[in-house]
């Protein structure tokens, strides 16, 4: 699980060729959005239209791609395409849930800590200090160890827990800056009230930040799930998951490359397009 | 403490060279930023270039030095002593840096490497570095001692005040023996005593036969340096001549307006508010308010420290309705902090502070950087309208105020970063006045503005203040400004780092 | 007057206190989590452990019961936790349930493996990442810069295990250059270190690039040049040092990523380290090993962060703003 805060400040601000960058950037963003939309479509429609991902037919062992099976079959005779669709849906749905939970939790606690200050802030910061040093994967691993038998709830809880701390810290830092700025002080003197501060100061400033955090969080979640699949903790066969599929298909890479290419391609396109959606405006 | 300013080493016994430049033109994407046909620097005769921002004066200095940003095109020729240079060739002059040409930076605190001790940074510029380290370090220590900075030699830059940093930068820049000194806006971050000290240094440099080119908007500094003065506007030199002529008897309208904008020369002092019944009554003086009865803000024995540094202690302040006060003193003295304490934005460490009941919610503040006081991503008009709505102010009054301060209404549709500093400050005045404040704190509200812009902004501000009869606290390090605007004054102490 | 410039430096004390508290907090948290997880494991832990010891065929309810009694798994939860913490304070980490060897010994062995891997990976990450960053910063928008951006994006998008698999494919299977599975010896370290290092190099490259670009354009570097310094000196002393001030804290951040990567990479390459041991301990429900390895890994993060903090103190003499980011 990577660290959103430092990735944010580390994205290079455009220098020199700044004039041409915006145009190229928005084109890149549109391409990423399009790719993502395609994958989402695939993930939503696929499982409904295609068959059962677990249906085995051992007589169709490692069949190459054909018109009936665009991605061929795997070593159990299962349709790779069908499994891929289910795997993509799993990754997307779980990632969205994890990020949404973590973001809401992290953002609200961040704003709360920045606004109230005092002991609320101190307690929350202390908790986050501990979380932040815990390798999140560790936590997820341990929690996911509970999930043998296919329960996804533990994985969801683990990943969300691992992420909220980063959001908390980032939002708290930014909200702290905004709330301590002369603009908010002036608004206080002018008697403009808390709602005004939220509407005119906090939200416009946090919105691009949250978008960026969300896209980074999605990438982190998807990668975390694939890693869990790789170590076969929490996500085990015969479940269709991208990381699992990759691991299972690797031994056959020379005789059946399509088995590997499918999940690798989807994973790569998914993460790259999510990364590309980051809000460039937030470079400030 | 007397400061023995050392003679710039290397100039004694050297050929007294001069510097001449011709046809200096700087362009950026077709726009001409500097167009100076002839410039001549002579020993013993400093040249000071004054003007507003955007006049091109800084760019002129950098063009001569060779430190322009790469995206600017520059043409022209320059001669230093016997050697000639093409201004378009930036690298050609690099070997002169430190040895012949020296540049004093605008913001000395930013120009020093925070990870290196002062002594090392000064010694680096010496000719003997790095071969003769010990000799260079000794030389550095001597120079620093001569500048009164012996105790700072082993310190890191973040511990220095602005004035000290400027002197360190001077030592570092000149230790290499350069006899051409180009000084770019030296007084921007400095207060009066520091500027005076710097002027002494520069004069000593010129007196020893060095060449001096100073870029500044500070007319007092220009006067102190003597020699010749130029007034630049929109890339061209509009007035040139000996300093006294240019500043006392300018011939062009623009130069006249510029010199007239110096607060020291302001002919009009705004009418003071008199206690009810004793002075002229007029609009805005609240009837029935007896200024002598209940002060707006009263502080007794106020005390505040910042870290281990005591800013003020045992301070008594009484501000009555309509009075105008100035908080003056060198930078770092705590003027802003005191202003914040009086307004209730920061608690004092000790003492008693009382504010009149009617002052609740009617205390306003103007900030040094107005762009920071408006919500960043939202058009300015929204902020003004929100305030008007909150206080039940008629839109007609809003429009009237906007007109009174001399702004056009469509300016309000822009975001804060699209409006210039002076104009934005005037919007801030309008916004503050909508609440009918009893006391307005102007915290270095015009320190960042050019002279002419400052004049316009101050006129707008004072017009509103007098009309409304509201009190004013002006925080500034500009004594002349304080004297022109206020009758009462609190002066805070010296910077203990000095 | 002189006193004002030589105020005593509290920064070191602050760092040590903060990291010390963090270490304690982390230790407690990790222990609690492990403990809670173990308590909630489905299936009969005792049964599984017994099966691990004696083999599935030979185990029966009696054996499971004896294991349970031996480990004290039949006592109340809070008592067990208390015992564990007490033992921890006495530095008694117990014995592995699988091998019956003292955990401390096994830990020492695995720790060495992990440290080797981590050190090698950091070297790769810094050399590749910082190298690319510096080269990209020389000409922003140029070829190297754009290549670096693409490189960073790809590396960021790949999970470490996939990167490892690809490297194995390329360097081991196809080209036969390096062994895929650890067989001792330095050559076996190359692939795992490369996998882990390349994964980390992305962020290092980005951070280095922005830091160098920013410092190179700063007023401070300009003044250094106009003082008359040679370009080499300017780069080596002023640019590098000030860029390092920004870059070093990010390396501390990498500590967490490093440890997570270690777990994955060790499993992939069967490298004898703490991550490998952890995964096995989870699988075999080897409780003492599980708790101990998790603890050491978490403390490793704190340790790396502490070292980074100290290096940062040495590099940057400015007083740190009291609320640092990390």
Residue whose pair of structure tokens reads 């802003």 in the numeric block = B336
List strand residue ranges (DSSP E) for C6-97, in order: none
Say yes or no for a CB contact (<8 Å) between B110 and C315. Answer: no
Consecutive H or E run containing A266 = helix A257-276
When pLDDT is averaged across residues B134-155 and rounded to a whole number, the result is: 88
Q: How far is A192 from chain B (nearest CA, A)?
A: 7
How many CB atoms are closer than 10 A to CB A38?
12
Q: Does B71 touch chain C (CB under 8 A)?
A: no
Interface test with C, best of B124, B136, B164 (most C CBs within 10 A): B124
Interface A:B, Cβ pairs < 8 A: 52
For residue B210, the 8-state DSSP code is -
When pLDDT is averaged across residues A154-180 and rounded to a whole number, the result is: 85
Lowest-pLDDT choice from A201-215, B294-308, B473-487, C25-39: C25-39
Phi, psi of B489 (to 5 degrees): -150, 145
A181 neighbourhood in chain B, CB within 8 Å: 372
Phi, psi of B265 (to 5 degrees): -110, 10
* Level-2 CATH architecture, domain B19-112+160-260: 3-Layer(aba) Sandwich (3.40)
C154 neighbourhood in chain A, CB within 8 Å: 272
CATH topology of domain C104-283: MetI-like fold (1.10.3720)
A185 neighbourhood in chain B, CB within 8 Å: 345, 365, 373
When pLDDT is averaged across residues A27-44 and rounded to a whole number, the result is: 87
Phi, psi of B39 (to 5 degrees): -140, 135
Q: Which one of C2, C242, C317 has the shortest CB-CB distance to B156?
A: C317
B151 neighbourhood in chain C, CB within 8 Å: 1-2, 5
- Do the beta carbons of residue C294 and residue A136 sit within 8 Å? no
Give which of C164, C244, C261, C262 is closest to C204, Cα–Cα.
C244
State how beta strands B236-242 and B31-41 pair: unpaired
Task: Give me the sheet containing B19-28, strands edge to edge.
Answer: B31-41, B19-28, B73-80, B83-86
Q: How far is C84 from chain A (nearest CA, A)?
A: 18
How many CB atoms are closer than 10 A to CB B275?
15
Q: Does B176 touch chain C (CB under 8 A)?
A: yes
Mark which residues 164-203 of A lie under 8 Å from C by CB: 169, 173, 176
Query: C54 or B45, which is more confident?
Result: B45
B191 has pLDDT over 80:
no
d(CA A116, CA C147): 45
Say yes or no for a CB contact (<8 Å) between C227 and B67. Answer: no
d(CA B119, CA C230): 19
Q: Which one of C37, C140, C298 has the shortest CB-CB distance to A135?
A: C298
Q: Which of A10-14, A24-28, B490-494, C243-247 has the highest mean pLDDT?
A: C243-247
- With H, G, I as helix, E, B as strand and everything else as coil, classify residue A155: helix
Q: Which of A160-164, B324-328, B466-470 has the highest mean pLDDT?
A: B324-328
- Do the beta carbons of residue B23 and residue B190 sit within 8 Å? no
Chains adjacent to B (≥3 CB pairs closer than 8 angstroms) = A, C
Interface test with A, best of C145, C150, C157, C247 (most A CBs within 10 A): C157
Q: What is the CATH number of domain A30-283?
A: 1.10.3720.10
Say yes or no for a CB contact (<8 Å) between B130 and C233. Answer: yes
Tell me the whole-structure pTM to 2 decimals. Answer: 0.79
- Do the beta carbons of residue C121 and residue C163 sit within 8 Å? no
- With H, G, I as helix, E, B as strand and everything else as coil, classify residue A216: helix
Phi, psi of A113 (to 5 degrees): -60, -40
pLDDT digits (tens, 9 = 90+) for A205-247: 888 888 888 888 888 888 888 888 887 777 777 788 888 888 8
**What is the predicted pLDDT for the residue at B277?**
41
- Do the beta carbons of residue A269 and residue C154 sit within 8 Å? no
Give which of B348, B268, B263, B359 is closest to B303, Cα–Cα.
B348
- With H, G, I as helix, E, B as strand and everything else as coil, classify residue B371: helix
Give which of A220, A243, A223 is closest to A231, Cα–Cα.
A243
Proportion of chain A in helix, strand, coil states, percent, rounded to 5: 75, 0, 25
pLDDT digits (tens, 9 = 90+) for A53-90: 777 777 777 777 777 777 777 777 788 888 888 889 98
B112 neighbourhood in chain C, CB within 8 Å: 220, 223
Q: Where are the domains of chain A?
A: 30-283
Q: Which one of A181, A186, A205 has the shortest CB-CB distance to B365?
A: A186
Q: Which of A11-20, B152-161, B185-194 has the highest mean pLDDT?
A: B152-161
d(CA B59, CA B55): 9
- Do the beta carbons of residue B485 and residue B472 sit within 8 Å? yes
C267: its two tokens: 């499993």
Report the share of chain A in percent with pLDDT over 90.
Answer: 8
B47 has pLDDT over 90:
yes
d(CA B129, CA C220): 19
- Do the beta carbons of residue A208 and residue A171 sit within 8 Å? no
Residue range(s) occupied by CATH 3.40.50.300 in chain B: 19-112+160-260, 295-491
Say yes or no for a CB contact (<8 Å) between B387 and A204. Answer: no
B173 neighbourhood in chain C, CB within 8 Å: 223, 226-227
Q: How far is A177 from chain B (nearest CA, A)?
A: 12
A133: its two tokens: 């040093």
Interface test with C, best of A130, A151, A242, A265 (most C CBs within 10 A): A130
Grouped pLDDT means (10 residues each) for chain C, 326 residues: 48 85 83 72 61 67 70 67 73 70 84 90 92 89 88 86 83 64 68 89 89 88 88 84 85 80 85 86 77 85 86 79 36
Say yes or no for a CB contact (<8 Å) between A15 and C141. Answer: yes
Residue whose pair of structure tokens reads 């822009």 in the numeric block = B414
A205 neighbourhood in chain B, CB within 8 Å: 376-377
A204 neighbourhood in chain B, CB within 8 Å: 375-378
B460 has pLDDT over 50:
yes
Judge: domain B295-491, CATH 3.40.50.1820.
Answer: no
A267: its two tokens: 């994973």
pLDDT digits (tens, 9 = 90+) for A82-107: 888 888 998 899 999 999 999 999 99
How many CB atoms are closer than 10 A to CB B283?
8
C282 neighbourhood in chain A, CB within 8 Å: 141-142, 145, 233
B49 has pLDDT over 90:
yes
Beta bridge pairs of residue B51? B232
Lowest-pLDDT choice from B102-111, B176-185, C177-186, C301-310: C177-186
Q: Does A39 touch chain C (CB under 8 A)?
A: no
Give which of B264, B272, B261 is closest to B422, Cα–Cα.
B261
When pLDDT is averaged across residues B272-276 and rounded to a whole number, the result is: 53
A133 neighbourhood in chain C, CB within 8 Å: 22, 26, 256, 298, 301-302, 305
d(CA C224, CA C236): 12
C138 neighbourhood in chain B, CB within 8 Å: none
d(CA C113, CA C104): 14
Q: Where are the domains of chain C?
A: 1-98+318-326, 104-283
d(CA B384, CA C88): 63
Q: Which residues of B202-224 are buried (b: 16+ CB within 10 A; e: fewer)?
A: bbbbbebbbbbbbbbbbbbbbbb
C283 neighbourhood in chain A, CB within 8 Å: 233
Say yes or no for a CB contact (<8 Å) between B391 and A182. Answer: no
Whether omega for the bond prior to residue B130 falls within 30 degrees of 0, making it cis, is yes
Q: Which one of C5, C226, C227 has the shortest CB-CB distance to B65?
A: C226
Average pLDDT, chain A: 79
Say yes or no for a CB contact (<8 Å) between C33 and A250. Answer: no
Phi, psi of B236 (to 5 degrees): -120, 160
Residue of C nearest to A5 (CA): C325
Say yes or no for a CB contact (<8 Å) between B390 and A200. Answer: no
- Do the beta carbons of residue B23 and residue B45 sit within 8 Å? no
For residue C187, the 8-state DSSP code is H
How many CB atoms are closer than 10 A to CB A105?
17
Q: Which one of A126, A133, A223 has the shortest CB-CB distance to C159?
A: A223
A266 has pLDDT over 80:
yes
Q: Does B149 touch chain C (CB under 8 A)?
A: no
């Amino acid at each position: 699980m990577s660290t959103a805060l430092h990735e944010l400040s580390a994205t290079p601000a455009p220098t020199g060729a700044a004039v041409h960058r915006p145009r190229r950037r928005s084109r890149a963003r549109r391409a990423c959005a399009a790719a993502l939309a395609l994958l989402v479509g695939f993930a939503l429609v696929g499982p409904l239209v295609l068959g059962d991902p677990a249906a085995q037919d051992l007589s169709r062992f490692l069949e190459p791609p054909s018109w009936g099976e665009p991605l061929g079959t795997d070593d159990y005779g299962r349709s790779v395409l069908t499994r891929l669709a289910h795997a993509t849906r799993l990754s997307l749905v779980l990632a969205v849930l994890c990020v949404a939970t973590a973001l809401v939790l992290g953002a609200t606690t961040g704003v709360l800590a920045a606004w109230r200050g005092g002991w609320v802030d101190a307690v929350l910061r202390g908790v986050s200090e501990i979380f932040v040093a815990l390798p999140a994967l560790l936590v997820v691993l341990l929690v996911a160890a509970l999930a043998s038998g296919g329960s996804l709830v533990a994985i969801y809880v683990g990943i969300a827990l691992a992420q909220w701390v980063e959001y908390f810290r980032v939002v708290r830092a930014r909200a702290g800056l905004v709330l301590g700025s002369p603009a908010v002080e002036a608004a206080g003197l002018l008697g403009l009230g808390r709602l005004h501060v939220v509407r005119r100061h906090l939200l416009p400033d946090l919105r691009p930040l949250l978008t960026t955090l969300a896209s980074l969080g999605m990438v982190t979640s998807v990668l975390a799930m694939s890693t869990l699949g790789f170590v076969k903790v929490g996500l085990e066969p015969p479940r269709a998951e991208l990381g699992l599929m990759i691991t299972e298909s690797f031994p056959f890479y020379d005789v059946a490359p399509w088995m590997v290419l499918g999940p690798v391609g989807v994973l790569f396109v998914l993460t790259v397009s999510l990364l590309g959606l980051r809000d460039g405006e937030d470079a400030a | 403490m007397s400061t023995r300013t050392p003679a710039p080493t290397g100039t004694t016994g050297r050929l007294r060279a001069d510097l001449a430049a011709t046809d200096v033109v700087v362009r950026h994407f077709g726009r001409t930023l500097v167009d100076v046909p002839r410039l001549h620097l002579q020993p013993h005769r400093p040249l000071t270039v004054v003007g507003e921002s955007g006049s091109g004066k800084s760019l002129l200095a950098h063009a001569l030095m060779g430190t322009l940003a790469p995206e600017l095109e520059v043409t022209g020729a320059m001669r230093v002593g016997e050697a000639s240079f093409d201004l378009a060739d930036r690298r050609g002059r690099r070997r002169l840096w430190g040895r012949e040409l020296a540049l004093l930076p605008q913001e000395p605190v930013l120009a020093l490497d925070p990870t290196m001790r002062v002594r090392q940074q000064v010694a680096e510029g010496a000719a003997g570095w790095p071969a003769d380290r010990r000799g260079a370090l000794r030389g550095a220590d001597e120079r620093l001692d001569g500048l009164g900075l012996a105790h700072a030699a082993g310190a890191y830059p973040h511990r220095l005040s602005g004035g000290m940093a400027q002197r360190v930068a001077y030592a570092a820049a000149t230790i290499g023996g350069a006899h051409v000194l180009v000084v770019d806006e030296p007084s921007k971050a400095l207060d009066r005593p520091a500027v005076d000290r710097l002027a002494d240094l520069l004069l000593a440099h010129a007196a020893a036969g060095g060449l001096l080119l100073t870029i500044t908007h500070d007319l007092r500094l220009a006067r102190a340096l003597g020699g010749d003065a130029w007034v630049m506007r929109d890339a061209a030199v509009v007035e040139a001549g000996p300093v006294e002529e240019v500043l006392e008897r300018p011939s062009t309208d623009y130069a006249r307006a510029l010199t007239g904008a110096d607060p020291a020369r302001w002919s009009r002092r705004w009418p003071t508010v008199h206690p009810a019944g004793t002075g002229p009554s007029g609009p805005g003086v609240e009837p029935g308010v007896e200024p002598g009865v209940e002060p707006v803000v009263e502080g007794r024995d106020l005390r505040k420290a910042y870290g281990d540094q005591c800013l003020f202690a045992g301070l008594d302040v009484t501000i009555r309705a309509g009075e105008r006060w100035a908080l003056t003193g060198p930078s770092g003295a705590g003027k802003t902090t005191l202003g914040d304490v009086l307004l209730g934005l920061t608690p004092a460490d000790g003492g008693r502070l009382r504010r009149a009941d009617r002052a609740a919610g009617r205390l306003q503040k103007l900030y040094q950087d107005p762009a920071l006081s408006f919500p960043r991503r939202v058009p300015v008009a929204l902020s003004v309208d929100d305030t008007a709505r909150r206080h039940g102010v008629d839109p007609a009054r809003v429009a009237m105020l906007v007109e009174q301060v001399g702004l056009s209404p469509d300016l309000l549709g822009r975001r804060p970063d699209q409006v210039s500093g002076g104009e934005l400050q005037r919007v801030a005045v309008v916004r503050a006045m909508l609440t009918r404040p009893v006391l307005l704190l102007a915290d270095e509200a015009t320190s960042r503005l050019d002279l002419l812009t400052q004049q316009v902004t101050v006129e707008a501000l004072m017009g509103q203040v007098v009309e409304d009869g509201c009190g004013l606290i002006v925080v500034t390090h500009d004594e002349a400004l304080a004297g022109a605007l206020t009758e009462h004054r609190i002066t805070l102490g010296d910077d203990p780092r000095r | 007057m002189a006193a004002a410039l030589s105020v005593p430096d509290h920064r070191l004390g602050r760092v040590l206190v903060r990291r010390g508290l963090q270490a304690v907090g982390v230790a407690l948290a990790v222990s609690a989590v492990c403990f809670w997880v173990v308590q909630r494991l489905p299936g009969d832990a005792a049964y599984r452990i017994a099966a691990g010891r004696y083999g599935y065929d030979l185990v029966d309810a009696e054996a499971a019961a004896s294991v349970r009694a031996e480990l004290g798994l039949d006592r109340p939860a809070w008592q067990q936790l208390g015992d564990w913490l007490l033992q921890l304070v006495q530095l008694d980490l117990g014995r592995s349930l699988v091998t019956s060897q003292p955990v401390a010994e096994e830990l020492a062995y695995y720790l060495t493996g992990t440290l080797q891997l981590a050190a090698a990976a950091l070297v790769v990450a810094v050399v590749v990442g910082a190298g690319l960053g510096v080269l990209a910063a020389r000409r922003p928008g140029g070829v190297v810069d754009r290549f670096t951006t693409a490189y960073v994006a790809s590396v960021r998008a790949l999970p470490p295990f996939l990167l490892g698999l690809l490297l194995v494919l390329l360097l081991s299977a196809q080209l036969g250059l390096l062994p895929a599975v650890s067989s001792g010896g330095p050559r076996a370290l190359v692939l795992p270190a490369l996998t882990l290092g390349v994964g980390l190099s992305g962020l290092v490259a980005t951070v280095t690039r922005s830091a160098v670009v920013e410092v190179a354009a700063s007023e401070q570097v300009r003044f250094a040049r106009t003082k008359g310094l040679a370009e080499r000196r300017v780069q080596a002393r002023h640019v590098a040092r000030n860029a390092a001030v920004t870059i070093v804290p990010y390396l501390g951040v990498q500590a967490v990523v490093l440890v997570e990567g270690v777990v994955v990479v060790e499993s992939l390459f069967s490298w004898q380290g703490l991550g490998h041991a952890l995964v096995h301990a989870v699988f075999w429900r080897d409780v003492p090993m599980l708790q101990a390895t998790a603890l050491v890994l978490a403390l490793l993060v704190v340790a790396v962060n502490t070292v980074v903090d100290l290096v940062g103190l040495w590099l940057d003499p400015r007083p740190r703003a009291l609320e640092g980011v990390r």
